[in-house]
């Protein structure tokens, strides 16, 4: 048999996924781990990668597949931190209907001593506003390496780092969306990376069916405290005009919790999204009840997750007190 007639090692995984309705099946956790390890080691041909990603897209990822993918990705990180991070916050979706008010939630938590590490990737879908650019408008410096992110977390309790500096191969893959025309499993697995091994993690998704997939994948990965919600636009953001189901892993157990809507009436979305409005709200120079409720409501979910409050009401009251205190401090200053 010549070299060209020998089956490529990665063909095993494409066959498992692509044998048709009766012959195909999901990957096991170990198979998913081995497949992603080969991908991240650049041992896969481009045509194989495209076929693999689209076959996964058609059938959608299982919790076991996600856990395998994430385990392989974590092993590829050339970084170990001794810093204790409180909350891992993924931000990959971008916003197109509302501004990313959740960014102020993370800064509010950081102001009150909670170390929040945020990771994301911008620009892979047209027409969306991504976190990195909005942070620049807010005057918040973004990190350029995991080491710089660690330093920012140590000094200011908040850091944002692009996936580009965490796992360049995954960053290249997430940016294939304009080429493929579709999202891929990468958009899902990156939300579960938790590069600093934070004690708690929170994720937003757009499609409700993915809540439980994330929840069960986190359990398989050994996460002790994780929450996932259908966030506004797919980001980790509570819409105050709607009920919010939060599905979590708490001390190794799966839990579901419904947070009520804050307003009984729907708010109209803004005609134009101006990121500068986040800075104005943060500086108490803008009155917007929807935006303020979004910031407080999103922070409340995080506060309950990390154990700063025992009930939803206590969490909301604490988040509101953080918000009011910063405004009082500004007035007195």
Question: How far is C-alpha 141 from the geometric centre of its chain's CA atoms?
Answer: 19
Domain closes at, from 27, 56, 76:
76
Using the 3D structure, point to which of 19, 52, 76 is the last residue of a domain.
76
| Most confident stretch, 113-127, 169-183, 258-272, 294-308 | 294-308
User: Residue 182: which pLDDT band, with cuts at 50, 70 and 90?
Assistant: confident
CB atoms within 10 A of CB 6: 9
Do residue 274 and residue 318 come from a single domain? yes
Instruction: Specify the pTM.
Output: 0.93
- The pLDDT, as a whole number, for residue 1 is 40
Domain end call among 50, 76, 102: 76
| 92 shares a domain with 30 | no
Q: Give the residue from 230, 232, 226 showing the smallest Cα distance to 248.
A: 226
- Domains held by the chain: number: 2
Average pLDDT, the chain: 92
| Domain CATH for 209 | 3.40.1030.10
Of 61, 75, 60, the residue nearest 170 (C-alpha)? 75
Distances (CA, A) of 16 to 20, 30, 32, 261: 9, 13, 11, 44
Higher pLDDT, 153 or 176: 153
Quote the pLDDT of residue 70.
97
Dump pLDDT digits (tens) for 134-157. Answer: 999 999 999 999 999 999 999 999
| pLDDT tens figures, 19-70 | 888 889 999 999 999 999 999 999 999 999 999 999 999 999 999 999 999 9
User: Tokens 């990190």 appear where?
Assistant: 143
Q: Are residues 262 and 114 in the same domain?
A: yes
Asked whether residue 2 carries a pLDDT value surpassing 70, the answer given is no
Same domain, 64 and 177: no
Instruction: In whole angstroms, give the CA distance from residue 294 to residue 259.
Output: 13
Residue 173 placed within a domain = yes
pLDDT at 179: 85
**How far apart, in whole angstroms, are the C-alpha atoms of residue 181 and residue 230?**
23
- 250 beta partners: 225, 253
Determine, yes or no, domain membership for 265.
Answer: yes
278-332 pLDDT per residue, tens: 999 999 999 999 999 999 999 999 999 999 999 999 999 999 999 999 876 655 5
**Residues spanned by the domain of 310:** 87-332
Indicate if 257 and 176 belong to the same structural domain.
Answer: yes
Same domain, 145 and 21: no
Q: What is the pLDDT of residue 3?
A: 52
């Amino acid at each position: 048999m010549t070299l060209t007639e020998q089956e490529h090692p990665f063909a095993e995984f494409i066959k498992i996924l692509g044998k048709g309705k009766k012959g195909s099946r999901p990957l096991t956790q170990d198979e998913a781990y081995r497949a992603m390890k080969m991908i991240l080691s650049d041992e896969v041909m481009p045509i194989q990668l495209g076929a693999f990603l689209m076959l996964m897209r058609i059938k959608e990822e299982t919790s076991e597949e996600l856990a395998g993918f994430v385990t392989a990705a974590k092993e590829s990180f050339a970084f170990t931190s001794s810093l204790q991070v409180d909350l891992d916050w993924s931000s990959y979706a971008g916003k197109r209907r509302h501004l990313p008010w959740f960014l102020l939630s993370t800064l509010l938590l950081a102001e009150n001593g909670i170390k929040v590490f945020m990771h994301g990737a911008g620009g892979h879908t047209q027409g969306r506003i991504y976190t990195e650019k909005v942070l620049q408008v807010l005057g918040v410096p973004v990190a350029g390496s995991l080491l710089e992110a660690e330093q920012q977390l140590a000094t200011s309790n908040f850091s944002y780092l692009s996936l580009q500096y965490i796992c360049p191969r995954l960053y290249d893959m997430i940016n294939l969306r304009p080429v493929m025309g579709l999202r891929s499993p990468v958009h899902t697995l990156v939300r579960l990376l938790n590069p600093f091994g934070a004690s708690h993690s929170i994720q937003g998704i757009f499609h409700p069916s993915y809540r439980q997939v994330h929840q069960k994948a986190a359990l398989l990965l050994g996460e002790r405290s994780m929450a996932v919600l259908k966030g506004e636009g797919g980001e980790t953001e509570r819409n105050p005009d709607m009920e919010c189901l939060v599905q979590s892993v708490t001390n190794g157990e799966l839990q579901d919790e419904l947070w009520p809507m804050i307003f009984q009436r729907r708010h109209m979305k803004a005609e134009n999204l101006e990121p500068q409005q986040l800075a104005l709200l943060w500086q108490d120079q803008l009155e917007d009840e929807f935006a303020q409720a979004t910031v407080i409501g999103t922070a409340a979910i995080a506060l309950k997750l990390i154990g700063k409050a025992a009930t939803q009401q206590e969490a909301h009251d604490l988040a509101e007190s953080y918000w009011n205190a910063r405004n009082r401090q500004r007035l007195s200053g």
